[in-house]
Amino acid sequence: MQDIQLFFNKLSGLLWGWPMIIILLGTHVFLTIRLKFPQRKIFRGIALSVKSDGDSKGDVSQFGALATALAATIGTGNIIGVATAVSLGGPGAVLWCWLSGVFGIATKYSEGLLAVKYRVKTSDGTMLGGPMYALERGLGMKWLAVLFCVFTIIAALGIGCSVQSNSISTMLKETFNISQYVSGSILTVMVAAVIFFGIKGIARVCGFLVPFMAFFYVVGCVAILIMNAPFLGRAITLIFRSAFSVQAVGGGMAGGGLMIAMRYG
C-alpha cells in the first residue's frame, strides 16, 4: 500500500509540476490576448445560452448544453478545486485560482469552437464532437485522438466518477447511517438509467436538476458569507498578502486545473 501511495505521489508531482503549470497558464494568457479578451463578452454569452434556437443543428438545446457543462462543476468541482488550491498553496492560492478561472475562459471558448467546427454527423443524424475529433480532423493525428480517449476514460473512472460517488455515499453514511454498498448500488442504477439514453437523456436530466443545484449552491455560498461577514475583510487581505509566492501560484494553478478535470469528468 505504501508503494502505491508513493507511486501516486510521484505521479501527482509530475502532472502538477511547474511544466504543467506554465503550459496551463501560458495557454490561458496566449489565447486571451490572441482572441482579444473574449471574457468581455461573457455576459452576452450567458444570455444567449439560455435562449432557445430553433435553427440550431445540435442534438441538445443551448440550455441543455450549458446545464450539462455546469453539472460537474457546481458543488464538488468548485469545492474540491478550491480546497486543493488552499491546501497546496495557502490562502494566497485563492487569488491565482480566480485568475486561472478568468483567463481559462479563453481556453474553454477555443475548445468549444473547435468541437463545433470539427464535429461530425452519423448516419442516424446524431452529432458527435469533442477534442478527439479536433485532433483527428483538424490536426490529422488520429493516434493522438485515440490516446486522448483512453486517458479520458481513465480520468473519468477516477476523478470523474469516484470523487462524486464517494462524496455522496460518505455523506449518506455519516448522516443517515446508510450503507455505502446500498447507496452505491442505487447511484449506479440511477446513472445507468440516464446515460443509456445518450447525450439527449443526460441533457434533459441536467436541464431539470442543474437550476435547483445552482440555486441552492448560490444560496449556501451567500449564507456562509453573511454568517462570516465580520471576517471577510481580513480574509481578503490575507489572500492578497499571501498571493505572491511560488507556493501560492503553484497551488492556485493546481486547484484551477483540478476544477477543469472535474468538469471534464
Contacting residues for 240 by C-beta, under 8 A, at least 6 apart: 92, 95
SS3 196: coil
Q: Cell for 250? A: 503553484
What is residue 144's predicted lDDT score, i.e. its pLDDT?
93
**Percent of the chain, pLDDT > 70?**
75
**Predicted confidence (pLDDT) at residue 213 exceeds the cutoff of 80:** yes
What is residue 148's predicted lDDT score, i.e. its pLDDT?
92
Contacting residues for 210 by C-beta, under 8 A, at least 6 apart: 67, 70, 71, 74
Split at pLDDT 50, 70, 90, the class of 263 is very low
**Predicted confidence (pLDDT) at residue 261 exceeds the cutoff of 60:** no
**Predicted confidence (pLDDT) at residue 225 exceeds the cutoff of 60:** yes
What is residue 240's predicted lDDT score, i.e. its pLDDT?
83
Contacting residues for 65 by C-beta, under 8 A, at least 6 apart: 49, 58, 203
SS3 79: helix
**Predicted confidence (pLDDT) at residue 5 exceeds the cutoff of 70:** no
Q: Which of 120, 64, 121, 122 is nearest to 132 (CA)?
A: 120
**Percent of the chain, pLDDT > 90?**
14
What is residue 262's predicted lDDT score, i.e. its pLDDT?
42
Q: What is the pTM of this model?
A: 0.71
**Predicted confidence (pLDDT) at residue 123 exceeds the cutoff of 90:** no
Give residue 157's region: left, alpha or beta (phi > 0; psi -120 to 50).
alpha
Residue 195 CA from chain centroid, whole number: 19
Top-confidence residue, 156 or 255? 156
d(CA 193, CA 190): 5
Query: Average of pLDDT values for 118-141?
Result: 86
pLDDT digits (tens, 9 = 90+) for 92-118: 777 777 888 888 889 888 988 898 899
Query: Average of pLDDT values for 83-87?
Result: 71
**Predicted confidence (pLDDT) at residue 215 exceeds the cutoff of 60:** yes
- The average confidence (pLDDT) of the chain is 78
pLDDT digits (tens, 9 = 90+) for 142-167: 999 999 999 888 877 766 677 777 77
d(CA 171, CA 231): 28
Please give the C-alpha separations between residue 79 and each of 32, 44, 86, in angstroms, as whole numbers: 26, 27, 11
